Amino acid sequence: MKAKKILTLAAVAVLSVGLVACGAKKDSSNDKKIVIGATPNPHAEILNEVVKPILEKDGYELEVKVFNDYVLPNEALLDKSLDANFFQHVPYMEEYNAKNKTDITYTVKVHLEPMGVYSDKVKNILDVKDGGIVAVPNDPTNESRALKILEKEGLIKLTEGKELLNKNDIVENKKNLVIKELVAEQLPTALKDVDLDVINSNYALQAKLNPTKDAIAIESKDSPYANIISVRTDNKDSEKIKALSKAITSPEVKKFIEEKYAGAIIPSF
């Protein structure tokens, strides 16, 4: 009876060790898989074509989940279905955090997508007709960017001293331009229906528009709106996030951005 009890305890011990080993193996596997959310172009393209092979050499598996808007990638990051996302700039992230009482942070700046003004109606932005319709992104940070371009080009004047601006902050509008606020992903399809269309470069590229060739006005290259790798504060210092950050700021990624996008996208590292 005593011998049987010892054998039973031994079996339980072996089973426990096996379960622990299985659990450790599963955790180890998860630590080697990075799930990142990104908008299609150029973000997912950079990740799939360049970053994924670099990480594979370091023993990591990269899964890229593609999103077509600017809201769901942060929600997915917060509910932990993503380890990171790659679509936004710091001002957008900070505005999102303030609005939603969240604490998303970032690790590295990757590239700048200069915002451009496009038109099927005029070749020179100053030739826009009186009362012309101008489409801009409707989220606070990108609308601010768009309005500042219009101001830089001499079409409007804005309230001074405000960080986030919208059409109500226009204090001078000599051409009586009508500002139409649209969800960013809808801007390319609106081009045919408006006089001027201020489009984020990722959506412009998806629509086969090259910011440096097709835009009639473009954001300054010293813009603070570099796109970043966003993460949760609880995983910012994890080994796989460090590996991701290192891979996406590698010389290979810099070369790819410079050659593939020919100035439409500018490395920020």
pLDDT tens digits, one per residue of 61-73: 999 999 999 999 9
268 close to 112: Cβ distance less than 8 angstroms: yes
Query: What are the beta bridge partners of residue 135?
Result: 180, 197
User: Which pLDDT band, with edges at 50, 70 and 90, does 24 fall under?
Assistant: very low
User: Which pLDDT band, with edges at 50, 70 and 90, does 153 fall under?
Assistant: very high
The reported pLDDT for the residue numbered 18 is 40
The reported pTM is 0.75
DSSP string, 121-138: S-SSGGGPPTT-EEEEE-
Question: Angle CA(123)–CA(124)–CA(128) in degrees, nearest 5?
Answer: 100
Residue with the two structure tokens 């031994």: 10
Average pLDDT of the chain to the nearest whole number: 90
Residue 12 and residue 36: Cα distance in Å, rounded?
Answer: 40
Q: Stretch 45-53: mean pLDDT, rounded?
A: 98
pLDDT tens digits, one per residue of 135-150: 999 999 999 999 999 9
204 pLDDT above the threshold of 80:
yes
DSSP classification of residue 185: G
Q: Stretch 187-196: mean pLDDT, rounded?
A: 98
Q: Which of 21-35, 116-130, 193-207 has the lowest mean pLDDT?
A: 21-35
Residue 122 and residue 155: Cα distance in Å, rounded?
Answer: 14
Domains identified in the chain and CATH numbers: 32-113+225-267 (3.40.190.10), 116-218 (3.40.190.10)
What are the residue ranges of helices labelled H in the chain?
A: 2-31, 45-46, 52-57, 72-78, 90-100, 140-152, 187-190, 201-206, 211-214, 239-248, 251-261
The reported pLDDT for the residue numbered 43 is 97
